[in-house]
Structure formats: C-alpha cells, structure tokens
C-alpha cells in the first residue's frame, strides 16, 4: 500500500512537470519573434566589417551601421551582439542558420534569394570602378578589357557587376573565392590587378589606407542600404524594423550620424596620405609605448593621442613653432608648468603632459556630453580654449541646435570671428574656423591610424588568398 502511494505521488509530480514544460512551450510558440528577442535580451546582427559601416575594434566610434543597429537594440530594450562577416553571402548563411536576426551589408542591389527579406531602404550611394593611378584607366564601361575587374565572390561588388551585366553583355570579370573586399583593394593598390568595383562610402575611407587607388568610372546606378532578415510568416521583426528606420530617418538622426562619419574624411591629399602612412610604419613604433602609457593614465585611446601629436608636430620631438610651443605635443610654457612638465622636448614628458592637459579639459566639460562628442569638444577646447568653446555651445543652443553634439557645435564655432555674434558672447572674438579644421584633421588622422591597425588585425584572421582559383564570371542575362 505504501509503495502504491509513493508511485502515485511520483506520477503526479512527473505529470506536473510535463504540464509546466508544455505550458512554457506553448507560451513560447505563441510569442512573436520580436517578443522572443526581448525575452532573451539580445539582438544578433551579422555585419560586414568594413569602414565606415562597422569598425570591429575598441575605440571612440564603431561605425554608422553599428550605431544604427545599437539604437534599434536599445529601442527594443535588449543588448546588441554583432558577428563579423566578409560578404553578403556569409550574412545570408547566418540568417538562414538562425545565427543572426538581422544582416547589415551596406548599400547594394537586391539579392535573388527567395528566403531573404529586404527591409526598408536608406542612404542611396554611388558606386565606382577604381584602378591603380599608375595605369591608364578606362573612361567608360565599354573601354574595360574583359577579365581585368576583380571582386570577392559573394560580395556586394559582385552583385553590382551582375546588375551591370544586363546593360553591358560583353562584361566579364574575375571573382576571388574566400576573399573579401579589403583584400581585393589591396591587390589593386599593389597593381597586381587592374580594376575593381567599390561603393563611395568604403572608398572614402580606404583611399587613405590604399592611396594608389583612383576612381576611373562613376557608375550611373545608385543603390540603397538596407537590412536583411530571414523570410518568415511572422512579420513582427520586419514591421518593427520598418517603423524604427522610418522614425530614425524622420528624426534627422540618420543624416546627422551619416555626416558625422564623412564630413572630416571628404578632403583627400595624396602626398599627405603617403607621408602619414610612412610615418605610421617607420616613426610611430618608437613613440607608441609612450602614447599607450599616457593613454592608460588619462583614460584615452592611445591612437587618439598619437593623432593629436601628428597634427601638432608630425611626431617630431624637436618641433617648434613661431609662437614658441614645442615638442611632440607642442605645449606652451604655461601649459607645461600647469601639468608639471620641465622639459617639453623630452618625448615622454611631452606626451604625458599633453595627455594630462587634455584630461583636465575633458573633465571640465558638462557631464552630460557623451562620447564621442566629448572627445571632439575636448580637442576644440585644446585649440581655442574652454571659454570660446562654451560660447559656441551657448550660440548653438540659442540657434536651435544641440549644444552637446559636435556636429551641431562645429557649425556655429566660426561665428565667433564675426562681430555680430562674438559681441554677444562672454569671451569675445576667436578664430572659430581654426578649431573646426583642427578637429577634422585629428579625426581624419585618428581614423586612418585605427584603420591601419584594424587591417593588421583582420589580415591575421583572413583566409589565404586563393589567387590560383580565380573564377571567370559572365552570368547569363
């Protein structure tokens, strides 16, 4: 009798457990995909690791694609989890395997996979045929010699060429299996291959790393950026993305974020780029340990300090200006005394002194100014002074813009040189255009240095180039 009761009790407990599991399963099955993402607390995004879409390193900025995805994750109340991809095809594979909820590849033509949904588009962009500046480059598609264009297999440039084929039936090109756009650009920069295809966004950044690249032809068709999802009867994530992107565009955030990544990169100087790359390779290693030490002590990115020093002295420890500022960080006597530096020509003292002074300025800014705007405003204060920066922020707010965003403040800083404006400020006249250009130059040097180091890292993760397995492509129309 006792044994029967024990067995009955066990059956009751087992039945209860089974019912709970079934109830939980039923509850999960009833949930939409968006609800499941919220319950799990993370949004998985597959993204191509090319600037300015995504910088997969620890730094002040992560890329406008990343920041857009991060804003979307925040709107859902979840964390963002990004996985790196090399090509559109890799993203599609991750979506089909359920490893990613969303794929972001930048601007490209629509793909032909029936299992993949293309979400709301944004940011139409130009595409170029590019080549090495040492060569005579074609002026039209008709001038392109067959099989002189190389792209990575499964990449966005490969999709563009397939679209282009409909208008130019004689177009043939080579596809590199297992490769990526960055590797292809390097090969063209080395003049190992004649031509490739690239979008304007990526070219804007990579031309600084590969300065031998030059635009040969601007293609007539522009293509938008869009997110990708796995096609499903459950449309909750598609509806959510559409609503978010429309709000993001209508609020002006998209335009501001896009301009933030391009305004400082739109001036390209071939000679300056060559000189900077040589200095990064030859001169910077001598000083990088000092930049790292100063960065750790003052909570900066060492590449940020290195970029400031290059703008100030071109990493010349004996540098001196007509105004008397000296050393790697070009410190004034007053600033050197303030931060306890005795010898401005000593590299270690100069770098540490400059970092300390930057930290003082950064700490003096309003607490609610967030990164990376906080760092850009610190640079402006380093150049023009905290007082004039604050005058510009006051003007920015009075004129209806956000005084905590550098992209808004830099619009109004030049007004400090105009009497109708500086006469109304606390600190008066300033050459307001100078800090704007100062910040743009340093940001440009910073991004190039980050890109240079990022490529060194990514090269170690790349598969070896399969140049012996190049595939001649000419898809049927």
Non-local CB neighbours of 178 within 8 Å, separated by 6+ positions: 153, 463, 466
Report angle CA 141, 147, 148 to the nearest 5 degrees.
Answer: 70
Helix then strand then coil, % of the chain, to nearest 5: 55, 15, 30
Calpha distance 295→283 (Å, rounded): 19
Length of the chain: 477
Secondary structure class of 230 (helix, strand, coil) = strand
- CB-based contact 295:277 (threshold 8 Å): no
Beta strands 102-107 and 42-48, pairing class: parallel
| Other Cβ atoms closer than 10 A to 312 | 22
Calpha distance 152→154 (Å, rounded): 6
Cα–Cα nearest to 257, from 450, 65, 58, 47: 65
Which among 186, 312, 410, 455 is annotated as catalytic?
Answer: 312
- CB-based contact 348:328 (threshold 8 Å): no
* 312 belongs to the catalytic site: yes
Calpha distance 180→153 (Å, rounded): 8
| Other Cβ atoms closer than 10 A to 278 | 11
Element (H, E) at 85: strand 79-85
Residues assigned a catalytic role: 312
């Amino acid at each position: 009798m006792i044994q029967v009761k024990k067995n009955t009790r066990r059956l009751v407990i087992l039945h209860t457990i089974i019912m709970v599991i079934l109830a939980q399963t039923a509850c999960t099955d009833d949930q939409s995909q968006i609800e499941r993402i919220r319950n799990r607390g993370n949004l998985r995004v597959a993204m191509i690791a090319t600037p300015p879409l995504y910088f997969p390193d620890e730094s002040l900025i992560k890329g406008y694609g990343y920041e857009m995805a991060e804003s979307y994750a925040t709107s859902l109340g979840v964390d963002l989890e990004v996985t790196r991809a090399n090509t559109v095809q890799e993203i599609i594979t991750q979506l089909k395997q359920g490893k990613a909820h969303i794929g972001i590849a930048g601007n490209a033509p629509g793909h032909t996979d029936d299992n993949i949904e293309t979400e709301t588009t944004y940011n139409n962009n130009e595409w170029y045929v590019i080549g090495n500046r040492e060569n005579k480059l074609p002026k039209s598609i008709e001038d392109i010699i067959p099989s002189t264009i190389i792209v990575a297999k499964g990449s966005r440039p490969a999709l563009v060429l397939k679209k282009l084929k409909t208008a130019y039936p004689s177009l043939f090109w080579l596809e590199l299996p297992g490769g990526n756009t960055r590797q292809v650009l390097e090969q063209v920069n080395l003049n190992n291959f004649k031509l490739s295809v690239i979008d304007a966004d990526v070219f804007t950044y990579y031309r600084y790393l590969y300065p031998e690249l030059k635009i040969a032809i601007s293609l007539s068709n522009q293509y938008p950026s869009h997110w990708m999802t796995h096609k499903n009867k459950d449309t909750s994530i598609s509806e959510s993305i559409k609503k978010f992107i429309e709000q993001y565009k209508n609020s002006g955030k998209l335009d501001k974020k896009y301009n933030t990544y391009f305004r400082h990169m739109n001036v390209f100087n071939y000679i300056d780029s060559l000189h900077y790359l040589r200095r990064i390779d030859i001169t910077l290693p001598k000083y990088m340990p000092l930049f790292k030490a100063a960065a750790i002590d003052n909570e900066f990115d060492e590449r940020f300090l290195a970029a400031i020093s290059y703008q100030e002295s071109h990493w010349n420890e004996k540098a001196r200006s007509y105004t008397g500022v000296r050393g790697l960080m070009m410190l004034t006597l007053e600033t050197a005394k303030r931060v306890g530096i005795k010898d401005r020509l000593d590299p270690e003292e100069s770098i540490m002194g400059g970092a300390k002074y930057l930290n003082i300025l950064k700490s003096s800014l309003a607490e609610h100014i967030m990164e990376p705007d906080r760092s850009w405003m610190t640079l402006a204060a380093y150049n023009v002074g905290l007082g004039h920066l604050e005058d510009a922020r006051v003007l920015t707010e009075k004129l209806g813009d956000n005084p905590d965003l550098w992209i808004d403040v830099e619009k109004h800083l030049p007004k400090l040189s105009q009497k109708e404006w500086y006469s109304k400020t606390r600190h008066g006249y300033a050459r307001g255009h100078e800090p704007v250009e100062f910040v743009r130059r340093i940001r440009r040097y910073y991004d190039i240095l980050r890109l240079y180091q990022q490529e060194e890292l990514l090269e170690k993760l790349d598969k070896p180039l399969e140049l012996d397995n190049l595939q001649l492509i000419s898809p049927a129309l």
